[in-house]
Amino acid sequence: MRRKHTNFWAFNPIEIYHDEDYLLIPKKTFNLRIEKRMASTTKSLFTADYEIHASIKMLYPYIQTAGGLAEWFAENVTISPEKVFTFTWDNEQHKALLAAHRTNHFARFEYLPETKEDKNDPSYFELRLEVNDLTQTTFLKVSDYSGFEDMDELQDLWDSLVEKLKQVVGG
């Protein structure tokens, strides 16, 4: 269904027509320009803490190296000479850069942008290792900033991934 709106910018009326999929915006020459609407995705931050019975020095290679991540995080993880990590799940590849890291503390991976929106607001995940000084317990803190819509499903996904990590390290 096409709708018409009149906006007054600088006292010159500009008519904009739209339906569910397209915007029709007149140019100054009064020719119509058609723009496909982008599906807007709202991203949200998921965080969770997992207790792991292993030392930080033992865990760090599993959160920062391609070989370590391939053992629990994805079906396959490779790294290019340009330091781009390629994560493979169900024959789908997702590329990310190691955006930040600190030895024995954390690794943050930012996914390479697929859309213009991603370029301005990149998705990322961060794996942070922390020790409770009082109990000497090691925790893996997961932060996942993405357009994943079902938070319960995302929780289940991370729970199963971290469970697999615990099996790999024996913790």
Which residue intervals of the chain bear CATH 3.30.530.20? Answer: 44-169
At 114 the pLDDT is 85
CA separation, residue 117 to residues 23, 55, 124 (Å): 18, 39, 14
Three-state DSSP state, 110: strand
Rounded to whole angstroms, the Cα distance separating 153 from 83 reads 30
pTM for the complete prediction?
Answer: 0.74
Rounded to whole angstroms, the Cα distance separating 70 from 77 reads 5
At 126 the pLDDT is 98
At 11 the pLDDT is 41
Measured in whole angstroms, the distance separating CA 1 from the mean position of its chain's CA atoms is 35
Rounded to whole angstroms, the Cα distance separating 149 from 41 reads 9
At 41 the pLDDT is 61
Q: Which long-range contacts (CB under 8 A, 24 or more apart) does 143-148 make?
A: 143/45, 143/46, 143/47, 144/45, 144/46, 144/47, 145/43, 145/44, 145/45, 145/46, 146/43, 146/44, 146/46, 147/41, 147/42, 147/43, 147/123, 148/44, 148/46
What superfamily would CATH give domain 44-169?
A: START domain (3.30.530.20)
At 9 the pLDDT is 37
Rounded to whole angstroms, the Cα distance separating 13 from 5 reads 10
Mean pLDDT by 10 residues, the chain (171 residues): 42 45 42 40 90 95 96 96 94 95 96 87 96 93 93 95 95 72
At 171 the pLDDT is 72
